[in-house]
Structure 1
Amino acid sequence: MKTNDLTDLAIPGTTLDVRVTPKASRNKIERDGNALRVYVTTVPESGKATAAVQKLLAKALGVPKSRLTLIRGEISRDKVFRIDD
């Protein structure tokens, strides 16, 4: 699983705009301007893809996944996460 180093974004209170592509060939994160594109291999059913995105983002940010809160986009490809204290 290859991820970019996103530790520079790991500031409490920061919101991250994320575009998700489920059922990808591999898990990866790409920066696209101010937004992030996250590719996950899981299927988009029952929140599995969202959970995979949260886990992948947390690892790249260097924060526990409990500090990432989904603000918007529970069933959408476009999601917004907030980094909590």
Structure 2
Amino acid sequence: MDPWRYSTQGISVALRVTPRGGRDDIDGVETLADGRVVLKVRVRAIADGGEANRAVTELIAKALGVPKARVRILSGMTSRLKQIAVDGEPARLGDALRRLAATKQD
């Protein structure tokens, strides 16, 4: 099961973010205790004044090769669990996320 859902505008992705994680990186897919599946993301930025949120949107945009303006946080602005939307061609974005997550599953 993937932590993203397709829509006509792009995809939405469930994230678990680790601020002050030492590096900006996508760490793969994880199933939480409640059964939800999330994409694990870590950023160097601190969770203060929206810095970590900005770092997350920039990381996702860079990883998927889309402009930063196409990535927005839908929910979880002050939580480690977030829902983001990425505008673009849904199949291409999903394939890119699948490749990114697969390289981190080892």
The 5-angstrom pairing of residues 24-35 of structure 1 reads 24-32=21-29, 34-35=37-38
Q: Which runs of 5+ in 2 are unaligned?
A: 1-5, 31-36, 89-106
Report the count of equivalent residues. 76
Which secondary structure does the structure 2 equivalent of 1:59 belong to? helix
RMSD over aligned CA atoms reads 1.9
Matched, 1:79 2:76: no
The 5-angstrom pairing of residues 1-85 of structure 1 reads 12-32=9-29, 34-85=37-88
Q: Which runs of 5+ in 1 are unaligned?
A: 1-8
TM value normalised by structure 2: 0.65
Pick the structure with more helix per residue. Answer: 2
Which secondary structure does the structure 1 equivalent of 2:78 belong to? coil
Identity %: 38
Counterpart CA distance in 2 for 1:19 and 1:47 is 16
Deviations 1:21-61 (A, max 9, x none): 00111111022155211111111000000000000000001
1:18 Cα deviation after fit = 0.7
Which secondary structure does the structure 1 equivalent of 2:46 belong to? coil
TM value normalised by structure 1: 0.80
Structure having the higher Rg: 2
